[in-house]
Amino acid sequence: MNESLLRLYELQKIDSELDELLASRGGLPERVAEMRADMAAREDELATIRARAARNEHDMREFERELAVVKEKFEGYKAQQFDVKTTREYDAITFQIEDANRRIREFSDNMARARVEFENSRGEAEEYSAELEGIRAEFEDSERTLNELITETIDEETRLRGERERVAVQVSAPHMALYERIRIAKDGIGVVGVRNGVCGGCFNAIPRQLVMELRRGDKHTVCEACGRIVVGDTVALAIDGEPQAVSQSVEVEEEAEGSQE
């Protein structure tokens, strides 16, 4: 049996496993990155709400302070009102009292509004913060799982790449060149075995005489239909250990035919 053909067939098996593994990893790294960005955006949102609450609280304290000042003035005017000597003084102080009164109402209103705003934004911040804690726990869980999956596939990838290197050096240069060219053109499958008289890549029938020749394992053919390298069923069996299904329907059909021989 041609060793290079045998190793070429083995190489295909490894490459197919690698392809499958890379496909299974799929968008995991991107998903982790997306989740991280989403968390960062939520944390920014929380910081914005908290900053608004702090501003509202500052405003409220400011109105509170102004209100205290004007109330003190008001009390002062009230006291002065008893000491006035002239009507003119009385009018002036009355005007001050009314003005202070007006400002007390104004500042009280402002303060009440600021308090409502502060209470609202503080409540909102607390609610958002609690919600975020839940989301963060979920995110950290998912991130850990995704990272574990990525780590696992990286270990498996390293193993397969090592295996590929070991096998690839045993494939002759012409076989390798042909394989790599076809593999790119044919969806990752460059070499297939004969399966029950058909091409394992496209199920096209292979002439019986050629099937017998390939069975000796010292040469390959190129499928007329799909263009893939086809090796004998003995080569495939030596690597696979057992006959591999072409596909459910073809396998059943061909086996039924084969048993009549």
Q: 111 or 230, CB closer to Zn ion?
A: 230
Residue 234 CB, shortest distance to Zn ion, in Å, is 18
3-state secondary structure at position 195 = strand
Separation of alpha carbons 107 and 73, rounded Å:
14
Mention every residue, 6+ apart, whose C-beta is less than 8 A from residue 46. Answer: 125, 128, 129, 132
Residue 185 CB, shortest distance to Zn ion, in Å, is 13
Stretch that binds Zn ion, among 74-82, 96-104, 183-191, 216-224 (CB under 5 A): 216-224
The 3-state DSSP composition of the chain as helix, strand, coil percent (nearest 5) reads 75, 5, 20
Stretch that binds Zn ion, among 14-22, 67-75, 83-91, 225-233 (CB under 5 A): 225-233
Q: 88 or 208, CB closer to Zn ion?
A: 208
Mention every residue, 6+ apart, whose C-beta is less than 8 A from residue 214. Answer: 194, 206, 220, 221, 230, 231, 232, 233, 235
Separation of alpha carbons 203 and 233, rounded Å:
14
Separation of alpha carbons 211 and 205, rounded Å:
10
Q: 41 or 225, CB closer to Zn ion?
A: 225
225: contact with Zn ion by CB under 5 A: yes
Site for Zn ion in 134-193 (CB under 5 A): none
Stretch that binds Zn ion, among 76-84, 154-162, 215-223, 239-247 (CB under 5 A): 215-223
Q: Are 221 and 206 in contact (CB under 8 A)?
A: yes
- In degrees and rounded to multiples of 5, residue 170 shows phi and psi of -95, 0
226: contact with Zn ion by CB under 5 A: yes
223: contact with Zn ion by CB under 5 A: yes
Tokens matching residue 75 = 């009390």
Amino acid at 151: T
Residue 222 CB, shortest distance to Zn ion, in Å, is 9
Residue 226 CB, shortest distance to Zn ion, in Å, is 3
Residue 205 CB, shortest distance to Zn ion, in Å, is 10
Residue 187 CB, shortest distance to Zn ion, in Å, is 12
Q: Binding mask 190-209 vs Zn ion (x if CB under 5 A, - otherwise)? A: ---------x-xx-x-----
Q: 135 or 210, CB closer to Zn ion?
A: 210
Site for Zn ion, rule CB under 5 A: 199, 201-202, 204, 223, 225-226
